[in-house]
Amino acid sequence: MFLSDYGEKKRVADILKQLERSYPNANTALHYKNEFELLVAVILSAQCTDKQVNKVTEKLFKKYRTPEDFAKLSPEELAVEIKGCGLYRSKAFYIVQTARELVNKHHSRVPDNRTELESLPGVGRKTANVVLSVAFGQAAMPVDTHVHRVAGRLGLASGKNPLETEKELIAKIPPPLRKDFHHRLITLGREICTARKPHCSNCPLLSLCPGNKTT
């Protein structure tokens, strides 16, 4: 029992070290200048690539910069501006409503706690985790499709949904390392451990992965 526990702890530590060596500068691909812009970008990123979000926000944030700017818009007006993102109509509604709540209830500041963040329209657990981690440096563990998939393949989590995976990763990844781990696992998932056909022979974690497809 103790040997088994020790072995798994060492494997997790080795995974963390190898990810650091392979992706030392991994960070969010979303472009933003402040907490509010990050929040808007993360809402837009649902079912949309970060590259496409950046194309949209490059123009968007030149026209509208603050919660007050967005709060003055109608959802229909914002929808035209973000049409390049999927689900743009519902996202426009949520962003406008969130901006209005920030102005009216939070002095135009993005909250730095989960309860208040998740009370905002369109802000679920993953979005809140990203903002808490990236904007405020808190030890949150955002789990998107890449993290959920790669963590499962690496045997770091067996959860059937992102919340279960998040809980398992929190139990294994030390708080100071969670932010970097999140970004590094996303990078691995995008470049190598892809959804349809993982490129296992090129993976820096091949020797540590029970789910590799090289055989």
**What is the rounded CA–CA span in Å between residue 1 and residue 60?**
55
Alpha helix locations (H) across 45-174? 50-63, 67-71, 75-81, 88-105, 114-118, 125-130, 145-153, 162-172
CATH of the domain spanning 11-26+140-208: 1.10.1670.10
**What is the rounded CA–CA span in Å between residue 193 and residue 215?**
16
**What is the rounded CA–CA span in Å between residue 86 and residue 185?**
24
> Which DSSP state fits 74?
-
Domain boundaries, the chain: 11-26+140-208, 35-135
Query: Is the alpha carbon torsion for 23, 165, 139, 56 positive or negative?
Result: positive
Q: Is 207 exposed, middle or buried (0-12, 13-18, 19+ CB in 10 A)?
A: exposed
pLDDT of residue 212: 72
**What is the rounded CA–CA span in Å between residue 164 and residue 158?**
8
pLDDT of residue 214: 62
pLDDT of residue 213: 65
Active site residues: 126, 144
**pTM score, whole prediction:** 0.91
pLDDT of residue 3: 41
- Decide: 91 and 122 in contact? Cβ < 8 Å: yes
pLDDT of residue 1: 35
Fold of the 35-135 domain? Endonuclease III; domain 1 (1.10.340)
The SS3 call for residue 73 is: coil
> Which DSSP state fits 207?
G
11-26+140-208 shares its CATH topology with 35-135: no
**What is the rounded CA–CA span in Å between residue 169 and residue 140?**
10
Q: Is 1 exposed, middle or buried (0-12, 13-18, 19+ CB in 10 A)?
A: exposed
pLDDT of residue 5: 65
- Per-residue pLDDT tens listing for the chain (215 residues): 334 566 889 999 999 999 999 999 999 999 999 999 999 999 999 989 999 999 999 999 999 999 999 999 999 999 999 999 999 999 999 999 999 999 999 999 999 999 999 999 999 999 999 999 999 999 999 999 999 999 999 999 999 999 999 999 999 999 999 999 999 999 999 999 999 999 999 999 999 998 776 65
